[in-house]
Structure 1
Amino acid sequence: MAKVQIIQKRSIIKRPETQQRTMQALGLGKINKSVEVELTPQIAGMISKVNHLITVKEL
């Protein structure tokens, strides 16, 4: 599987609870925090739900 770097670019304040929980599940929570994860179908689904809050780079 490919690895991707996910960087949080926008705040999760005043976002729906499901989006906040998705960001926490990805390991994010603060602006400019980044994580490197394997790009599985589950992660790809989470990325698509919060793509307006993050940026994604392939490694």
Structure 2
Amino acid sequence: MAKVIITQTKSTINRPSRQKLTIKALGLGRINKSVEKELTPQIQGMIKKVDHLVSVENK
């Protein structure tokens, strides 16, 4: 599987709780924190839900 680096670029303040929980499930939680994940269909869906809060780059 391909790997991606996900970086949180915006705050979750004043966002719906579903988006906050998705950010936490991705292993993020503060601005400029990055995590490396396998690009599975589940992770793709999570990224799509919060794409306005994160940036994604292929590894």
Q: TM-score range by the shorter chain?
A: over 0.9
When normalised by structure 2's length, the TM-score is 0.99
Q: Distance in 2 between matches of 1:43 and 1:54?
A: 13
- Alignment partner, residue 21 of structure 2: 21
Alpha-carbon offset, residue 4 of structure 1: 0.1
State the one-letter code of the partner of 2:55. Answer: T
Structure-1-length-normalised TM-score? 0.99
Equivalent residues in 2 for 1:1-59 (5 A)? 1-59=1-59
Pairwise CA RMSD: 0.2
Extract structure 1 runs of 4+ deviating beyond 3 A: none
The one-letter amino acid paired with 1:30 is R
Q: Which amino acid aligns with 2:11?
A: S
Q: How many residues align?
A: 59
